[in-house]
């Protein structure tokens, strides 16, 4: 990439961006201007795949419950997962716990201070490493997230696909060239804020944009075309049939241990089927798990509840089953008191069912 192709704005790109940031940016977030790498790390992990409006309460809750990395490292997994409940992408939470314990034990609670060391931590990629190293330690590493892709693609009229290896390398190189090396943390926060509140994915505020005299997408009517994505998302449909098995004041649950979505969260006993579960297959499943026809009564079946994940559509039904007597459950099923139900972390789709039931 020739520098002159992209750095010929007058005034310069970083000058205009920082001018906008100083004069017009009113976006307030508790982690802005934060220098504690632990809190910056928390905010960045929480905000991966999560809107700021949703992540804010989770960030405040984590900081309140775990004011330093030792507190997070010492916490039981179940407590951390319960606080994470509803955020989705639970691998982030597992990596959060693992990294906290690693830093607490191996680094005596001191967060690594170089980009390379931060990048080596579990659950941290180039974007998060750049954010932490620039915000906490003022190191010159450019962040490249969805907001940055969009801003650069539109302003400079770049048609390279942002979801290809070559496209990602191109944008990373351009972002590094444009970075203000004297104020990398301030610059990185500014470009992300700009993408979030001015150069938005839909209905960007082009009329008040500080770059509208330079923006190739705006000048060439390509706002809705850029940035370019090459790949089409393939969505897998899955049917989850949950058995809400109750006996007196207890209910059966299990912990998801498979390498699949929602690993380590709790759920009701479940059978996955290619399509909606019929009565015959339900009876067969119950018999396979030790239930005889005179042991139980099917009280109700819920309407289908949907949850859209990034690559999957989950369709769930909840079949409420009342046992006449308490039976011994499978090894990975357990009886819990209904009054203790709130102590366990469940996927959003189960909480949605419970909310509707109430």
Q: What is the DSSP letter of 258?
A: S
Q: List, in sequence order, every residue forming a beta bridge with 334; answer none if it has no partner.
A: 253
Q: Take residue 340 and report the two structure tokens written for it.
A: 């203790």
Question: Among the residues of the chain, which ranges form H helices?
Answer: 3-6, 13-23, 37-47, 52-65, 69-74, 77-84, 91-106, 115-119, 126-137, 146-156, 165-178, 184-197, 216-219, 279-288, 348-357
Q: Which residues contact 109 (CB under 8 A, 6 or more apart)?
A: 68, 69, 70, 103
**3-class secondary structure, 325:** coil
Write down the residue that tokens 């039931």 correspond to: 357
Q: How many CB atoms lie within 10 A of CB 25?
A: 17
209-226 exposure pattern, b = at least 16 Cβ within 10 A, e = fewer: bbbeebbebbeeebeeeb
**3-class secondary structure, 264:** coil
Q: What are the CA-CA distances from residue 202 to residues 20, 21, 150 (Å)?
A: 20, 21, 11
Q: Is 287 an active-site residue? A: no
* Residue 68 Ramachandran class (φ > 0 left, ψ -120 to 50 alpha, else beta): beta
Report the chain's terminal Cα–Cα distance, integer Å: 59
Q: How many CB atoms lie within 10 A of CB 43?
A: 24
Q: What is the DSSP letter of 211?
A: T
Q: Which of 23, 34, 44, 74 is catalytic?
A: 44
**CA torsion through residues 208, 209, 212, 218, sign:** negative
Residues serving a catalytic function are: 44
């Amino acid at each position: 990439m020739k520098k002159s192709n992209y750095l010929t704005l007058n005034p310069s790109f970083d000058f205009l961006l920082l001018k906008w940031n100083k004069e017009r940016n009113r976006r307030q977030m508790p982690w802005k201007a934060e220098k504690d790498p632990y809190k910056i790390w928390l905010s960045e992990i929480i905000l991966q795949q999560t809107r700021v409006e949703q992540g804010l309460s989770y960030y405040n809750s984590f900081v309140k419950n775990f004011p330093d990395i030792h507190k997070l490292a010492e916490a039981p997994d179940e407590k951390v997962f319960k606080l994470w409940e509803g955020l989705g992408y639970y691998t982030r939470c597992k990596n959060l716990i693992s990294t906290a314990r690693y830093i607490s034990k191996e680094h005596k609670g001191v967060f690594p201070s170089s980009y390379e060391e931060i990048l080596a931590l579990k659950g941290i990629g180039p974007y998060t490493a750049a954010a932490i190293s620039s915000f906490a330690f003022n190191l010159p590493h450019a962040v490249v997230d969805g907001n940055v892709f969009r801003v650069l693609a539109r302003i400079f009229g770049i048609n390279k696909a942002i979801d290809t290896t070559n496209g990602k390398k191109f944008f990373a190189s351009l972002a590094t060239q444009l970075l203000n090396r004297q104020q990398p943390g301030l610059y990185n926060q500014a470009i992300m804020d700009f993408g979030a509140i001015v150069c938005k994915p839909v209905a960007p505020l082009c009329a008040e944009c500080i770059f509208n005299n330079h923006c190739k997408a705006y000048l060439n009517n390509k706002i809705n075309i850029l940035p370019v994505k090459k790949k089409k998302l393939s969505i897998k449909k899955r049917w989850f049939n949950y058995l809400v098995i109750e006996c007196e004041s207890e209910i059966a649950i299990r912990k998801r241990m498979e390498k699949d979505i929602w690993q380590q969260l709790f759920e009701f006993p479940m059978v996955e089927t290619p399509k909606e579960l019929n009565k015959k297959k339900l009876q067969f499943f119950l018999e396979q798990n030790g239930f005889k026809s005179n042991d139980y009564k099917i009280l109700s079946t819920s309407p289908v509840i949907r949850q859209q994940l990034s690559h999957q559509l989950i369709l769930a039904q909840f079949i409420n089953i009342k046992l006449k007597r308490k039976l011994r459950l499978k090894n990975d099923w357990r009886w819990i008191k209904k009054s203790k139900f709130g102590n366990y972390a469940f996927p959003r789709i189960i909480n949605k069912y419970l909310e509707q039931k109430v």
